[in-house]
Structure 1
């Protein structure tokens, strides 16, 4: 499993509209092969700053499967106009935590 983390900076005054659009968009990502789950978190200190966490089976499921799908085009239409600047998206793998044995 990998964790995609996207830092999302929403344009001022557009948080409510962004959250409404995300409510629709999340059904798209949840239908993709290799999708394992997601969370959208809003920053307490910066109201228009969000963190999107998506768990995928692999980077390929995100980069090739989702980003090259027809669903991604709808995702872009729903969400990309809210961001300024455009988000940084990185992938992480777990190296420590409950259930892992690090020798």
Structure 2
């Protein structure tokens, strides 16, 4: 399992529209091969800042399976115009988990 992490800076004033679009986009990503779970968190200190956490079975499920799919084009159309700057996406593997 890998964890995709993206810090999302949404254009100020577009937070509500982004959140509505994200709810639509959630149906897209959750149907992808290798998808496990995702969470969107809103920053308490900065109203236009979010963190997206997505669990995938493999890195390839995200970087190839999702990003090279027609569904990604739908995701992109729904969400990418809200970001400024465009987010950096990183991938992490679990090294330790508490009991």
Normalised TM-score (structure 2): 0.98
- Give the Cα separation in 2 of the matches to 1:25 and 1:38: 11
- Give the Cα separation in 2 of the matches to 1:23 and 1:84: 20
Larger Rg: 1
Normalised TM-score (structure 1): 0.94
- Measured on the aligned residues, the alpha-carbon RMSD in Å equals 0.7
Match of 1:76 in 2: 76
- Give the Cα separation in 1 of the matches to 2:98 and 2:57: 19
Match of 1:26 in 2: 26
Unaligned runs of 5+ in 1: none
Match of 1:4 in 2: 4
CA deviations on 1:33-54 (whole Å, 9 max, x unpaired) are 0000000000000010000000
Match of 1:39 in 2: 39
The answer to whether the aligner puts 1:15 opposite 2:19 as a matched pair is no
Match of 1:65 in 2: 65
Unaligned runs of 5+ in 2: none
- Give the Cα separation in 2 of the matches to 1:95 and 1:47: 31
